[in-house]
Amino acid sequence: MYYKNRGYKIFNVFNYVFLSLLAILCLIPLIHVLAVSFSGSAAAAAGFVGLWPVNFTIDAYTETLGNEKFVNSIFVSIQRTILGTVIPMLMTMLIAYPLSKSNDIIKGRAMITWFFVFTMLFSGGIIPNYILILELGLMNSMWSLILPHTISAFHIVLLLNFFRSIPKEIEEAAIMDGAGHIKTLFKIYLPLSMPAIATLSLFMMVFHWNSWFDGLIYMSSSSNYPLATFLQTVIVQQDFSQLNLSPEEMANISERTVKSAQIFIGALPILLVYPFLQKYFVKGIVLGGVKE
Read off the pLDDT of each residue in 101-122 and give the average, rounded to a whole number.
80
Q: Please say whether the beta carbons of 171 and 184 come within 8 A.
A: yes
Show me where the domains of the chain are located: 59-288
pLDDT confidence of 76, banded at 50, 70, 90? very high
Dump pLDDT digits (tens) for 118-157.
888 887 788 888 998 999 988 999 999 999 889 888 888 8
Read off the pLDDT of each residue in 28-56 and give the average, rounded to a whole number.
82
Report the chain's mean pLDDT, rounded to a whole number: 81
pLDDT confidence of 80, banded at 50, 70, 90? very high
Read off the pLDDT of each residue in 3-16 and give the average, rounded to a whole number.
79
DSSP per-residue codes, 81-101:
HHHHHHHHHHHHHHHHHHHTS
CA dihedral 85, 86, 88, 90 (to 10 degrees): 150
Dmax (CA) for the chain in angstroms is 74
pLDDT confidence of 83, banded at 50, 70, 90? very high
Long-range residue pairs from 146-150, CB within 8 A, at least 24 positions apart, any chain: 146/80, 146/83, 146/84, 146/87, 146/88, 146/208, 148/214, 149/84, 149/88, 149/207, 149/208, 150/87, 150/88, 150/91
Choose between 40 and 251: higher pLDDT. Answer: 40
pLDDT for position 87: 94
104/49 Cα distance (integer angstroms): 66
160/100 Cα distance (integer angstroms): 5
CA of 58: how far to CAs of 39, 66, 247, 256, 267, in Å? 8, 12, 18, 13, 18
Q: Please say whether the beta carbons of 7 and 1 come within 8 A.
A: no
Read off the pLDDT of each residue in 180-184 and give the average, rounded to a whole number.
85
pLDDT at 221 over 50: yes
Terminus-to-terminus CA distance in the chain, angstroms?
Answer: 37
pLDDT for position 79: 93
Q: Which among 257, 285, 180, 231 has a CA at the least distance from the CA of 74?
A: 231
Read off the pLDDT of each residue in 55-61 and give the average, rounded to a whole number.
81
Q: How many helices (H) and strands (E) does the chain have?
A: 16, 0
Domain 59-288 has CATH 1.10.150.120: no
pLDDT for position 292: 43
pLDDT for position 250: 52
Dump pLDDT digits (tens) for 240-292.
555 555 555 555 556 778 778 878 888 888 788 777 767 666 665 555 444 44
pLDDT for position 286: 59
